[in-house]
Amino acid sequence: MQATMKKPWITPTLVAHGGGLNKFGATRHHQVTERIAEVPVADLARRFGSPLFVLSEARLRENAARLKAAFAHRWPKMVHAWSYKTNYLGAVCNTLHQEGYIAEVVSAFEYEKARGLGVPGERIVFNGPHKPRVALERAAREGARIHIDNLDELYLLEEVAEGLDMTVPVAIRLNFDTGFSDPWSRFGFNLESGQALDAARRVADSPRLKLTGLHTHIGTFVTDPRAYAAAAGILCAFMDTVEAETRAVIEYLDMGGGFASNNALQGVYLPPEQIVPAPEQYAEAICDALMAGTRAREARGRAKPTLILETGRAVVDDAEWLIAGVVANKRLPDGRRGVVLDAGVNVLFTAYWYHHDVRPVRWPDGIAEETVLYGPLCMNIDIMRQSIQLPPLALGDKLVFHPVGAYNNTQWMQFIEYRPAVVMVMRDGGVEVVREREDLACVTRQERIPARLAQPFGKP
């Protein structure tokens, strides 16, 4: 059909040819993505439509297993948790649960989602700054690990424990300056100011709460493993202080998530291969610091604490791709080429801060030139890529964005377009829909139209 379509006249423009080099070194010319997890992109788009998210079960499991292995060799008591907010599609969560990851949730909704998937309360870490009373009651009854974010929550949880007539084991979330990453001081209790120790004392004095853990989550896309080494050292020192000053015995340290994924942050010009540490590097930094930080405590007869990690993006990001189709070509007044795609920042929220790897399915004939990739939204900020070298693309041609597994299927928005389907390429090569494309019924299900407004025209 496309071959018979008449090409529109486009005013010729002069384009400087790159010699395969730009100011940052070699360009990645002529790279294509013909297949995702060995399934041809063209087949996927034909069967399931465009745009389309595609997950790889095999890649997800490999990533999960590699991270586990990296720590298993270095720390004897490990618990890995899957950060739901990074991607809470049921198929993703259950793949990771099958790999031995418990659930890490940051809201009442996520808690329900985990329980709905069949995750028992004892295998849920409950974080986040908003845990309503009913959610705390449920989490306490079901034995979840509750990590207290603030004093009001602490008081509320005491009331809840009183009401349930039980003693609730808890951890407190801490924030502090590692010297290597910007402190996220809005979450948890600040260590330097003394707030954290006050909170620990307050919990230790409580007849209804029992301090068993310390939690921190120092940031996201943290590319310097030394930040984690510093955080581990700080947690160990704080554990010693708390144990010396209260009767608490700390059973676990939770170091949160934040490991970088193989993605290119905007403004960082080195390729991810050069700046993103391997899981083993994070593991070494953390476990060496924990070894050093717990040695004296062990000599006093205390067992090593369990280490909990709450990994998100590093496990899922490169296990998902987005296929987007070209819907229009245009020439911008400044001479650059504009391409309108059927997927925009409505589905690829992370286009705001990443330069995703974007590749055509096959390399088209013609000269590559500077191109702006736009999404389909009537919104000026809907830019999938400000500048990329691409040859002319035909209507219907597909581009593949990668890695897109982290934070897109949770932060996408339903704005003037339906959210696309998500499929998973299973280990046996089969392809399963794991989230249907939305339709009008999905979008209007919650709406109620008052009787007087039942008809669009005519007298009320």
DSSP string, 15-74: -PPP-SEETTEE--TT----EETTEEHHHHHHHH-SSEEEEEHHHHHHHHHHHHHHHHTT
Using the rule CB under 6 A, is 85 a contact of ligand PLP?
yes
Which residues inside 91-150 make contact with ligand PLP, applying CB under 6 A? 104, 106, 127
Is residue 405 a contact residue for ligand PLP (CB under 6 A)? no
67 binds ligand PLP per the rule CB under 6 A? no
Which of residues 107, 294, 311, 371 is near ligand PLP by CB under 6 A?
A: 311
Q: Does 83 sit near ligand PLP (CB under 6 A)?
A: yes
Closest separation between CB of residue 281 and ligand PLP, Å? 15
Region from 13-21, 32-40, 60-68, 252-260 binding ligand PLP, contact rule CB under 6 A: 252-260
Of 81-89, 366-374, 385-393, 439-447, the window that binds ligand PLP (rule: CB under 6 A) is 81-89
Nearest to ligand PLP of 246, 281 (CB atom):
281
Distance CA(126)–CA(388), nearest Å, equals 41
Query: Rounded distance, CA 244 to CA 213, Å?
Result: 15
Tokens of 300: 């006093």
Toward ligand PLP, which CB reaches closer, 80 or 398? Answer: 80
- 254-273 footprint of ligand PLP as x/- string (CB under 6 A): --xxxx--------------
The site map against ligand PLP for 143-182 (x = CB under 6 A) is ----------------------------------------
Give dist(CA 237, CA 235) in Å, integer.
5
Residue whose C-beta lies closest to ligand PLP? 312
Q: What is the DSSP letter of 416?
A: S
> Does 313 engage in binding with ligand PLP (CB under 6 A)?
yes
State yes or no: residue 57 binds ligand PLP (CB under 6 A): no
Minimum distance of ligand PLP from residue 184's CB (angstroms): 9
Cα 374 from Cα 380, distance rounded (Å): 9
Q: Give the length of the chain.
A: 460
User: Residue 309 and residue 216: Cα distance in Å, rounded?
Assistant: 10
Report the SS3 class of residue 207: coil
Tell me how far, at minimum, the Cβ of 149 lies from ligand PLP, in Å.
Answer: 9
**Residue 86 interacting with ligand PLP (CB under 6 A):** yes
Query: What does DSSP assign to residue 327?
Result: E
Q: DSSP secondary-structure letter at 335?
A: S
For residue 115, give Cα distances in angstroms to 23, 133, 157, 217.
51, 17, 20, 23
Tokens representing residue 234 in the block: 């700080």
Strand 78-83 to 102-105 pairing: parallel
d(CA 342, CA 417): 9
Spatial separation of the C-alpha atoms in residues 400 and 379, rounded to whole Å: 22
Q: Is 188 in the site for ligand PLP (CB under 6 A)?
A: no
- Report the residue from 220, 263, 408, 409 that binds ligand PLP according to the rule CB under 6 A: 220
Site of interaction with ligand PLP (CB under 6 A): 83, 85-86, 104, 106, 127, 217, 220, 256-259, 310-314, 406
